[in-house]
Structure 1
């Protein structure tokens, strides 16, 4: 961006700080001076605005103090950091351990914050994860952290740091001994080879490359508690982690190049509470039972096979991989994993009562079935999911369609022998009903479920009455023909708490609904619904509606959304935002 003049700078600062509200007269001169001091640099302005937005408006002395500090960007970043809550400072400094321009997954970052004890509960109404999400939002509002991607419900999925902010954090984190970014302090391998042992002796947390960990001269390595490892192709650095006998956290960053660790030596690190990495093959050895303190296990691999010993990890809270093969049935009188809260992604699991009893406090669950296996064997006992009494988030995915996507598209487009659209939908609806009834006839959801994602199941739309009856459901995502059929009719008494509805890839044509059927809906997202003929105008009468999002190719639906929006505005009613999703 070009540099801004004084008036443009002041307008940007005002918009960020006061959000179109009236500006106190006594702050105008001071605010204009602060904006001018930023030298027209947009980053300086938004960081300054993030700082000012957190200071009470009546606190004129703090505004004066900021104005007196000049407009140097580093000074503004330093002031913004100084004004952070004490519990947020180490969370922000920890991010200096990630490489420049690296896209950080917020879920993994939050797990790291929690494992290090940075996050504590301020009240009894939130979990540690929710408290950490609030920390992240605060850092974003202060423009210290950049959002790279948000989820459909508005929560941050991934983030990054501006280079200049990161440079400040690297220095501050080393100064406060929160984390040492070895590669930033010693930019070449030769320097690191000679000076790393001396540099890390006063730090308990380091960020280092595989090459650095490959070095054998770590004289003081036994005091290192946390390592963020940046993989270098060709180095199996973690094979030398026996030097780090006190290690509690080993987080290997996800990289596209293949990189393995030698599990035998990793499993000798008995103090580990957090382990995230790739593995040499899909089989986790039984030696994992040595890690009795392990709370988080993240594996960057598909079809991971876990050993029976997984049931002995009493402290386990998060068990995550690209996909897991079915968990082994527990032997004998194994005690349940009472601390396990997250299991994802579970492939072709049989939900026997014994398995359900072993994970009684699970809160987030991702399950995937392959079409061929599901058709061949109907004994997956999905009805037992209702006994997971603490489950709040459930993702149910079916991979592999009943008809190939190509055949479906040819039929729908009239290229497969001159079928009319009505006949096509009848055929597809018949397939959907027969197969869906066979597959999910006995499925029962736990009543406390708050978020549900269905993908690829091709259920009849009438089955949504079961989903709509869930009393606490707030988010419903229907992806990849989760439902099939030409018509969906909703009724009163359903979806009483639903805030977000996403339909992504659907052959739905007629949607008969009313504002009273979704009394608390805030966000409606319609993606790739190319056969849907209209959005009912009464959707605009939902008092809580904030956003309707349409993908850019659905011009007809975009027209209807904008027409409803205009009707609301013309009648003087509270309107909503129409948002276009770009491909």
Structure 2
């Protein structure tokens, strides 16, 4: 964890020197940077075996580093702050003392205990076959649950899965949820994670959102249901349907009282699965039927699961088998423990390393102590560059769906990533996250259309480890209904505030605010004026607020600003000269001309009516080399003057409204000059575009078009893009009854979506292949005129899934024909089909 704090300070010092932010103290800054780099190298080369020797040293490093960063950022903000930390020379002397101590520790450890420097070039060593929803040792459980769901009484029944944390309740429920026989049996399937601090409104919203499309189809008028209470709407959407609802991680009988009335009993075999650690909760919800208790794995299945996590389908080498079985036995049959240890062992497959891992927890006998030991072991054996990033995930609430795009921006803003030449910090962050997922410390909960992790989660036991370790080392503090205050004798550097707004307000104003460097707020409606005086604030992520306070521009150290805001006055936003990420939802704003002087900007994201002004003329051209994201801009003019200032843009989302016919004014043909653009979303509301109005950059990987009303002949500008992997065509993006794919195109396309397109005939002859030879997923939504999916689609060897949403019977028939031919030719049904 100390490594993350040192990284943050290193990145900060290098930025200060490069930008000449504190010219009067540059000599001291250079000296401090040299000392910090020594300590960083020391930690990089220390092994997990030496953790007992370095533990006390790390605490001292964290304390001194925090002091140094406070002084530096105070001087940037030109504020005096706390008098304890105004002498940079004194802190350098303190770090010098720590350096001398580190050199002695290094001698004690000895060269044999030092590990090689960890490469910053990361790659996954785990086979792709892992994590595909398989269960080891729970085959009988799966059969029993499926029988109770499909063949039980016609009455509505609740199946309760009971067991301790980490024993596999959620894993079993997920496998059941995704089983083909279950998905074909139930018309509606829904998953809701409840957790300890549940919010009934969020549960209702989750149930409603997943059924919104169905409600629209049934009633024909989405607005008519909008005025109903959420509970009534959920009930009506389920009424008459055979449904399966999974209530995961229920802690309290009150939850069942709150949700029970939502589920109609129409004697059609509907089911509810409830997972819980509390047997009294399961009995309360399921008094008539036997509970399904989860059991520990036996030694044989523990070993099988460990082998699957470490080696995939490859056999364990004979020299590792004995020690491997000993490690598996010490996991005491707890699946999560086996999975975590598997993630640890998969990184280094040597006898020496495995023996060292085994020695660190073989003496523990208590199951709960053993589990806690394994959790700590998984953290202690992390490379230093991953520890801070892993702990940071604990800053989010329990069972929170963490959007990876947000997490990555926060990691960057906090400065806890190790820069790598030729890679952006965002790319490094995605590699770090993938490594944590490979180690089974983080769950890849949802993936985007290009296969990248879109949403991640963390097991609540692991989150407890993060928050406990982070608070012990003063990395961050969480304020919620469990922790209502923070000791006044400590310096608070990061604060995350959850839940009750009234509690939050009174606790925040009592914090030692002069020392808060970063804050993450996930509460709705917090009064941001409370934080106007936090001159060192680096991260501010708020919920819904009425307006941004004027004093926000005084927070000159701010790097990340995000919130849902009804009023956003941004005329002076340029004064936040260190700002990297600006995210405003539900705000209609006019950005100032000075936005073009904010050279640190990396991401500008809006959801609302936002106009980007033309750059000021007659001045030295300032290039925003760091800018990667611009979304969603209204009536954006792609002039050469603008594009040459954003040469490294990777994501652009633009929309056009009104009835302007002169499309040359918007210069869309210049888009091809964005040579690093990977994601482009274009939405048009109003007049049709003229043919050939676009020129797309060859770097594009994902393209979404809506309302363009282009002729299908213009598709040649898209199908020739050499790197295009995802194509989404929505709401009359193209018009005309016939689309004939052309030979030699779409040679990298993996995902294709057609939504609300008035296409009638889609012609794909086999002679055109391999134009779609890499396609993995085809999604058709609301294309009521389309008569069939071309038969040749079934010949694509990579195709894994076809999804049909609200399509005609003839399309469904054509897909069934494709499946039948596949069964006849291969004897198997490789292709999956989902029909709504």
Both structures adopt the same fold (TM-score exceeding 0.5): yes
Q: Distance in 2 between matches of 1:38 and 1:269?
A: 49
CA distance in 2, matches of 1:13, 1:496: 39
Distance in 2, matches of 1:511 and 1:312, equals 50
CA contact (8 A) 1:319 1:342 kept: yes
Structure 1 equivalent of residue 776 of structure 2: 523
Q: Please state whether the residue corresponding to 1:391 is helix, strand or coil.
A: coil
Taking the TM superposition and a 5 Å limit, the aligned residue runs for 1:100-139 are 100-124=398-422, 126-139=423-436
User: In the alignment, what sits opposite 1:222?
Assistant: 514
Contact 2:819 2:829 in 1 (8 A): no
Residue pairs, 1:16-95, within 5 angstroms: 16-28=309-321, 30-56=323-349, 60-62=354-356, 64-65=358-359, 68=362, 70=364, 72-95=370-393
1:474 paired to 2:771: no
**CA positional deviation for 1:175:** 2.4
Residue 180 of structure 1 pairs with residue 477 of structure 2: yes
1:312 aligns with 2:597: yes
In terms of mean alpha carbon deviation, does 6-15 or 212-221 score higher? 212-221
Tell me, yes or no, if structure 1 residue 152 matches structure 2 residue 449.
yes
Does the C-alpha gap of structure 1 residues 500 and 552 become closer, same or farther in structure 2, counting only changes over 3 Å?
A: closer
Name the CA shift for 1:562/1:137 in 2 (closer, same or farther; >3 Å): farther
Q: Is the 1:272–1:293 contact (alpha carbons within 8 Å) kept by the matching residues of 2?
A: yes
- How far 1:454 sits from its partner (Å)? 1.4
Aligned residue runs from structure 1 range 16-415, under 5 A? 16-28=309-321, 30-56=323-349, 60-62=354-356, 64-65=358-359, 68=362, 70=364, 72-124=370-422, 126-183=423-480, 187-188=483-484, 192=485, 195-199=486-490, 201=491, 203-208=492-497, 211-212=503-504, 218=510, 220-231=512-523, 233=525, 235-236=526-527, 238-252=528-542, 254=543, 258-281=544-567, 283-334=568-619, 335-338=621-624, 339-370=626-657, 372-373=658-659, 379-399=665-685
Which residue does 2:831 correspond to in 1?
578
Q: CA separation of 1:576/1:17 partners in 2, compared to 1, >3 Å: closer, same or farther?
A: farther
Q: Rate the CA distance shift 1:564–1:117 in 2: closer, same or farther, 3 A.
A: farther
Once the 2 structures are TM-superposed, how far is the Cα of residue 230 of structure 1 from its aligned partner? Answer: 3.1
Measure the CA separation in 2 of the matches of 1:344 and 1:457.
18
Deviation at residue 379 of structure 1 after TM alignment = 3.6
- Is 1:458 matched up with 2:728? no
What are the superposed Cα offsets for residues 454-491 of structure 1, whole Å, 9 maximum, x if unpaired?
12323322221111122332332223342233322222
* TM-score relative to the length of structure 2: 0.58
Higher alpha-carbon deviation: 243-252 or 45-54: 45-54
Cα offset, 1:320, TM superposition:
0.5
Whether the aligned pair in 1 keeps the contact of 2:447 and 2:454 (CA below 8 Å) is yes
* Alignment root-mean-square deviation, CA: 3.1
- Greater relative contact order (Cα 8 A, min sep 6): structure 1 or 2? 2
CA contact (8 A) 2:509 2:530 kept: no
Cα distance in 1 for partners of 2:358, 2:563 equals 49
267-276 or 299-308, larger mean C-alpha shift:
299-308
- Give how far 1:25 is off: 4.1
Which has the larger displacement, 153-162 or 115-124? Answer: 115-124
Q: Quick one: distance in 2 between partners of 1:397 and 1:531?
A: 22
Select the residue among 826, 830, 834 that pairs with 1:569: 826
In 2: Cα distance, 1:219 partner to 1:133 partner:
33
**Alpha-carbon separation, structure 2, partners of 1:215 and 1:76:** 34
- Distance (Å, rounded) in 1 between the aligned partners of 2:575 and 2:506: 24
SS at match of 1:134: helix
What is the alpha-carbon distance in structure 2 between the residues aligned to residue 478 and residue 564 of structure 1? 28
Distance 1:501 1:459 in 2: 17
Residue equivalent to 1:409: none
Aligned-residue offset at 1:268? 0.8
Counterparts of 1:487 and 1:247 in 2: how far apart (Å)? 56
For the structure 1 residues 4 and 525, does the alpha-carbon distance in structure 2 shift closer, same or farther, using more than 3 Å as the test? farther
> Is the partner of 1:198 in helix, strand or coil?
coil
- 1:478 & 1:355 partners in 2: Cα distance? 27
How far does residue 196 in structure 1 lie from its aligned partner after superposition? 4.8
Deviations 1:429-453 (A, max 9, x none): xxxxxx75x4353221123323211
How many Å apart are 1:79 and its aligned residue? 1.6
Query: Which residue pairs with 1:419 in the alignment?
Result: none
**How far is the alpha carbon of 1:165 from its aligned partner?**
1.0
Q: Distance in 2 between matches of 1:558 and 1:519?
A: 17
| Residues 35, 45 of structure 1: 8 Å contact kept | yes
Does the Cα contact within 8 Å between 1:326 and 1:350 map onto a contact in 2? no
Q: Which moved more, 1:336-345 or 1:547-556?
A: 547-556
Relative distance call for 1:394 and 1:145 in structure 2 (3 A) is same
Counterpart secondary structure, 1:22: coil
Q: What residue is the counterpart of 1:559 in the other structure?
A: 816
SS in 2 for 1:13: helix
* Structure 1 unaligned blocks of 5 or more: 401-434
Mapping for residues 398-547 of structure 1, pairs under 5 Å: 398-399=684-685, 436=688, 438-508=689-759, 509-514=761-766, 516-518=769-771, 521-528=774-781, 529=783, 532-536=786-790, 538-539=792-793, 542=796, 545=798, 547=800
